[in-house]
Amino acid sequence: MAEIAELKSVNEQGEVVTCACAMGDLSDFESVPVDRRVLVIGGGITGITAAIDLGNAGYKVVMVERLPSVGGRMLQLSETFPTLDCAQCTLTPRTVESGQHPNVTLKTSCEVEGLEGEPGNFKFLIRQKPTYVDWNKCTGCGTCVEKCPSKGFALFERDAGRMPAIYTLSPQAVPNKPQIDPDRCRFLTRGKCGVCSKVCPVGAIDYEQQESFFTIEAGAVIVATGFDIYDWKKLMPEYGGGRIPDVIDGLTMERYLSASGPTAGKMVRPSDGKTPKEVVFIQCVASRNPEFHKSYCSRLCCMYTAKHARLYKHKVHDGQAYIFYIDIRSTGKGYEQFIQQSVSEEGIVYIRGRAAKLYQKDDKVMVQGADTLTGKKIEIAADLVVLAAAIVPNEGSEKLARILGIECNKDGFFVEENYKFAPVMSGRQGVYLAGCCQGAKDIADSAAQGSAAASRVQVFLSSYRNRMNREAV
């Protein structure tokens, strides 16, 4: 009982120093014993869920995130199935809560580089990448972002639009401070420009910033490093290998459909900015393909493809959407109804078969497909093709596995101790897995695993404390 009361008081104190927490000051985190501290790697919806749960339970959490703000893949999404809620609207309260939570400290633009110690008493080496912006000075006014003359390709916007070299990932980014992309910044690459530095009212731009290292001591760690999209541009020449501009992937489609995306939610196609009237969606791209790509089902694609086609139809009423599918896997609550509605009420034509090849013909993308139900080879002259490419672990998962002493399978997903009964346990005590880094899953399942991992951490740390206490006696 005494412990809980003590934590509560810390809690209240924490609220006073919220800003310091958000800026990444570790003094509050370090104010409790190491067996009450947890590191969460990855600031997506999974990591956020775990961090908030642990924070609410009275643990001190540091959440490290590779990108400049938390939110993860959900930040890129438009609306989410099966309810078609706005992703930003459901995500933002959670990112804000993680940023303001008295027990949660965000360390963005950071990556885990090393691990020492043992379960219950880990010591992590963290690399802080330069943001080239002094966040203690920056007020987040956004003038630099507005004035930056160097707009270019950015992974976050995928093929849907360009981004300034100094940027935040969203208007409601947490933390809402910009960072400079050193590969695209004219000053950092060519020594010329300096516009952001000139317009910053508080002198926060710091081109000299260097990477730095620090350590975090924590009793346990949750790995929630998320997913990426299979590199179909490099590995699937049959779909144009990235050379056909109007062939995009599902994540790019999200950016087009997103109200906060580069087109403000206007549905256009990359090549000429025209509204696509014939849109072909292809499921199982690189998934379920043990011979050449990935053997597993990526689990999300059936649902998000139906969602894409619906959102497209909501924006382009006279447009025609086609979906090449092999099987429909809609096993979540309300998912099958969502699919049924897409088929019967939204005028989307489902074609049972795969598309073998895409090629450019004049301003169309020709789709060579088959409909196995009628036994016909199908050709569609599409304005836009959207590929539901396989879900793969984020880059660097193998390296992180080595650092943490856990296992990856051949596809790079972290291996759980027992898929049925211990899906969030890594096989190494004190190290827990959650979300897509363990295998493809949707938001609902990812958040559930975030909570499950948070619960497992508490079980572990309290039994660890009890053991230590007994040994001390």
Partner 1 sequence: MRYSYFPGCTLYTKAKKLDDAGRECSLKLGFELDELPDWTCCGATFPLVNDQHMLMSGPTRILADTKDRGDDKLVALCSVCYNVLKRTNHVMLNDEERRAKITDFIERDYHGEVEVLHYLQVLRDEIGFDALKEKVVKPLEGLKVACYYGCLLLRPVKEIGLDRMENPTIFEDFIRALGAEPVDFPFKIECCGAFQTVNSMATATRCSREILSNAVQNGADLVITTCPLCQFNLDDRQPEILKEDPAFTTIPVFYFTQLLAVALGLDSGNLGFERNFINPLELLQEKGLV
Partner 2 sequence: MKTIISGDQIKSDFINRVSEISGENFFNCYQCGNCSAGCPSVDEMDLLPSQVVRYLQLGLAEEVKNCKSMWVCAACTMCHARCPKGVDISKIMEALRVLRLREVNAQPRVDLTDFSQDYLERAPQIAIISGCRKFLPL
Of 356, 381, 398, 399, the one binding partner 2 (CB under 8 A) is 356
Q: Is 357 in the site for partner 2 (CB under 8 A)?
A: yes
Give the separation between CA 215 and CA 209, rounded to whole angstroms: 19
Q: Closer to partner 1 by CB, 234 or 317: give it.
A: 234
Return the residue of 68, 120, 250, 353 that touches partner 2, per CB under 8 A.
353
Helix, strand or coil for residue 342?
helix
**425 DSSP 8-state letter:** B
411 binds partner 2 (CB under 8 A): no
- Contact by Cβ (8 Å): 253, 308: yes
CB-count exposure of residue 199 (10 Å: 0-12, 13-18, 19+): middle
The CA–CA distances, whole Å, from 376 to 106, 119, 200, 313, 358 equal: 55, 59, 62, 26, 17
Q: Which stretch binds partner 2 (CB under 8 A): 103-111, 162-170, 364-372, 439-447?
A: 364-372
Tell the smallest beta-carbon distance from residue 237 to partner 1 (Å): 4
Under rule CB under 8 A, residue 289 binds partner 1 = no
> Is residue 372 near partner 2 by the rule CB under 8 A?
yes
Give the distance from CA 469 to its chain's centroid. 39
371 counts as binding partner 2 under rule CB under 8 A: yes
Residue found by looking up tokens 């104010």 in the block:
31
Instruction: Select from 243, 277, 399, 402 the one that contacts partner 1 (CB under 8 A).
Output: 243
**Is 359 among the residues that bind partner 1 (CB under 8 A)?**
yes
Residue 418 is classified by DSSP as: B
Interface with partner 2 (CB under 8 A), residue total: 24
The 10 Å Cβ neighbour count of residue 310 is 21
Q: Which is nearer to partner 1, 289 or 341 (CB)?
A: 289
Among 130, 182, 241, 332, interactor with partner 1 by CB under 8 A: 241
Residue 49 and residue 340: Cα distance in Å, rounded?
31
Considering beta carbons, is residue 161 or 353 the nearer one to partner 2? 353
Specify the residue, 220 or 370, whose C-beta has the smaller distance to partner 2. Answer: 370
Question: How far is residue 328's CA from residue 310's CA, in Å, rounded to a whole number?
Answer: 16
Q: Which of 5, 210, 234, 292 binds partner 2 (CB under 8 A)?
A: 292
Q: Is 376 an interacting residue with respect to partner 1 (CB under 8 A)?
A: no
CA torsion 349-353-358-364 (nearest 10°) is -20
Which residue, among 370, 366, 20, has the nearest Cα to 175 in the 3D structure? 20
Residue placing its CB nearer to partner 1 in the complex, 238 or 336: 238
The single residue among 352, 364, 428, 465 that binds partner 2, judged by CB under 8 A, is 352
The answer for residues whose C-beta is within 8 angstroms of residue 174's C-beta and 6 or more apart is: 22, 69, 70, 71, 95, 96, 98, 99, 106
CB of 238 to partner 2, least distance (A): 7
Which of partner 1, partner 2, none does residue 265 bind (CB under 5 to 8 Å by kind)? none
Q: Can you read off the two tokens belonging to residue 410?
A: 């051949």
Alpha helical stretches, state H, 193-295 = 195-199, 232-235, 250-257
Q: Which stretch binds partner 2 (CB under 8 A): 56-64, 69-77, 176-184, 366-374?
A: 366-374
Task: Kindly state the tokens that stand for 350.
Answer: 């489902």
Closest to partner 1 by CB, 11 vs 360, is 360
Of positions 171, 237, 334, 405, contacts partner 1 by CB under 8 A = 237
By the rule CB under 8 A, 410 interacts with partner 2: no
In angstroms, give the least distance from the CB of 290 to partner 2.
Answer: 7
Q: Does 326 bind partner 2 (CB under 8 A)?
A: yes
DSSP string for residues in 71-135: -GGGGG-SEETTTTEEHHHHHHHHHHHHHH-TTEEEEESEEEEEEEEETTEEEEEEEE---SB-T
Q: Which of 275, 368, 409, 429 binds partner 2 (CB under 8 A)?
A: 368
Of the pair 158, 299, the CB lying nearest partner 2 is at: 299
| Contact between 231 and partner 1 per CB under 8 A | no
Closest CB 306 distance from partner 2, rounded Å:
19
CA 184 to the chain's CA centroid: 22
**Which range, of 116-124, 277-285, 358-366, 417-425, touches partner 1 by CB under 8 A?**
358-366
CA distance 252 to 279: 14
Which residue is associated with the tokens 């006014």?
141
The yes or no reply on residue 378 touching partner 2 (CB under 8 A) is: yes
Given the rule CB under 8 A, which of 39-47, 369-377, 414-422, 426-434 is the region that contacts partner 2?
369-377
Q: Out of partner 1, partner 2, none, which partner does residue 288 contact, by CB within 5 to 8 A per kind?
A: partner 2
Residues near partner 2, by CB under 8 A: 238, 284, 288-293, 326, 352-357, 368-372, 375-378
Sites of contact with partner 1 (CB under 8 A): 236-238, 241, 243, 357, 359-362
